[in-house]
Structure 1
Amino acid sequence: MTDQFEDKAVIVTGASSGLGRAIAKRFGEAGANVTNADIQPDPQTGGTPTHEAINEADNDGEAKYVETDVSSKEDVQVAVDATVSEYGSLDVMVNNAGVTKIAPAEEMDLDDWRWVIDVNLTGVFIGSQIAGQQMLEQEDGGSIVNMASMMGEMGLQKRSPYCAAKGGVINLTRTLAVEWAPEDIYVNALAPGYIYTDITEQTQDSADYSNEDIRRRTPVGRYGTPEEMAENILFLARDDHFVTGEVLHADGGWSADGWGYRE
């Protein structure tokens, strides 16, 4: 399944920590050359930077880091240009970077709203646009995978900008897929449910629910893992599946469940 990524050039935004780190490392294992386009190189919880971990691993992939604010068109252009200069092309773009702000809608600061929308939605458009321009110029197709969320298709209290942004990502994905399908550029999205990352425990105190609440609400009875999400991303990044404009829900059955809570 992953042989087709050998020597391919991949950008993963927000790859310093969490899902992005797992995704970037999995592409490296598959033999891809990976650019981590993140605002900082080091994981939020410390440890080896993602690009160094890939380069130190026993695989054929190489990696580099490019400081990138995904809401800046200039920064994203620099990341794409650096990738093409180093690796000769851009074959896969994973728009993963994301942020959130938690507050009741009536108290949500407008600057916080704009920040979440700028990173989670506008950043995905900028990344897709510049990657799409490069892929069109190459005339060899490509894959763009956007990080959505199951919350893009349902509501969650105190997350109005996050839910709005992820809903936008879902329809943006469909629109770009239709526009670029004739040029063999596949555009899909992954919509994770609750995924246990290295910062989950640090942020749980700000939530209105417990880990046990999530376990009971999720039909498979647990969080997902970053490694599982990375496998889903690699599937969507392939170009041999006749799938474009789709949103893959990787939420342990959450969005399919009409009952909603169990002991």
Structure 2
Amino acid sequence: MSEMFEGKTAIVTGASRGIGSGIATTLADHGATVVINYRSSEQRATEVVEEIEADGGTAVAVQADVSDPADVEAMVEATVDQFGAVDILVNNAGMTKIGPAAELDLEDWRRVIDVDLTGVFIACQIAGRRMREQANGGAIVNIASMMGQMGYHMRAPYCSAKAGVINLTRTLAVEWAPDDISVNALAPGFIQTDITDQTQDSAGYTDEDIRRRTPMARFGTVEEMASCVTFLARGDTFVTGEVLRADGGWTSDAWRYHEGRV
């Protein structure tokens, strides 16, 4: 265990599984006290806490719907009451709805926007206020997506929300730079998680499709995303308002599909 974040407290939203749990455990490995936020998966959140504690770290699970300001306020206040401060916020909670835009139900659109964009704003606003009051700086990392920088079929609400997260990140970075609060975003490509497996089934693409389309010829890993977040959360890099794309070269590749790759 390193001491990179020793004495720091981090809130990671949507941390009961996938990329979120990987980020939480990695921050804890580097010395941070971590708040594992979940909406409904209490058992999985508890398992993440137990994993961190088994490795000698400190973590608690806190239930909150990120689209509900009262829930987020209560989570931030509980964090401050128990640990004294909020130093790092990672906005990872998210969802998607796959389907043709022409047939998309408006309620499905609103729910994705509420969680993936409005939820990020709410958490940034409430935690950011606390960081400013603490006057010790802070770091916010918003999990966006490469799909926030490109169009992708059957993903209208998700792509729109993640594009909003990217520009929200830049705006907050400019506003809060005088308070020594860095605000950056990570834009993952296709990362191998159980959630990815579920969306593949509904969207009709295979592992081989992703491997052929990605210049690095594979999915990214949760551990790689956690390493990216660790860099962005450090707060000692003179980096703010940036979007770190971790997509294996997907959005840089003009060829789009590598038929002959083995």
TM-score by length of 1: 0.95
| d(CA) in 1 for partners of 2:256, 2:89 | 35
1:247 aligns with 2:243: yes
> Deviations for 1:94-127, whole angstroms, at most 9, x for unmatched residues?
0000000011001000000000000000000001
| 1:34 counterpart residue number | 34
| 1:128 counterpart residue number | 124
How many residue pairs end up in the alignment? Answer: 258
| 2:8 counterpart residue number | 8
Unaligned runs of 5+ in 2: none
- Contact kept, 8 Å, 2:46 with 2:61, in 1: the verdict is no
Q: For the aligned residues, what is the CA RMSD?
A: 1.4
| 2:65 counterpart residue number | 69
Secondary structure at the counterpart of residue 219 of structure 1: coil
Question: For 2:51, which of 29, 50, 53 is the aligned residue?
Answer: 53
| 1:178 counterpart residue number | 174
| 1:112 counterpart residue number | 108
List, as ranges, runs of 4+ consecutive aligned residues in structure 1 with deviation greater than 3 Å: none
Deviation at 1:49, TM superposition (A): 1.9
Deviation at 1:2, TM superposition (A): 5.4
1:187 aligns with 2:188: no
Question: For 2:96, which of 94, 100, 105 is the aligned residue?
Answer: 100
> Deviations for 1:198-235, whole angstroms, at most 9, x for unmatched residues?
33333321123211010000000000000100000010
Does the C-alpha gap of structure 1 residues 48 and 182 become closer, same or farther in structure 2, counting only changes over 3 Å? closer
Identity of aligned residues (%): 60
Q: Which amino acid is the alignment partner of residue 17 of structure 1? A: R
Secondary structure at the counterpart of residue 42 of structure 1: helix
- Contact kept, 8 Å, 1:2 with 1:234, in 2: the verdict is no
Does the C-alpha gap of structure 1 residues 2 and 146 become closer, same or farther in structure 2, counting only changes over 3 Å? farther
TM-score by length of 2: 0.95
| 2:162 counterpart residue number | 166
| 1:208 counterpart residue number | 204
| d(CA) in 2 for partners of 1:27, 1:79 | 19
Does the C-alpha gap of structure 1 residues 2 and 92 become closer, same or farther in structure 2, counting only changes over 3 Å? farther
Deviation at 1:3, TM superposition (A): 2.6
| d(CA) in 1 for partners of 2:38, 2:6 | 23
| 2:84 counterpart residue number | 88
Does the C-alpha gap of structure 1 residues 2 and 231 become closer, same or farther in structure 2, counting only changes over 3 Å? farther
Secondary structure at the counterpart of residue 3 of structure 1: coil
More displaced stretch, 69-78 vs 195-204: 195-204
| d(CA) in 2 for partners of 1:211, 1:190 | 23
| d(CA) in 2 for partners of 1:187, 1:125 | 12
Q: Which amino acid is the alignment partner of residue 104 of structure 2? A: M
| d(CA) in 2 for partners of 1:27, 1:42 | 21
Unaligned runs of 5+ in 1: none
- Contact kept, 8 Å, 2:190 with 2:196, in 1: the verdict is no
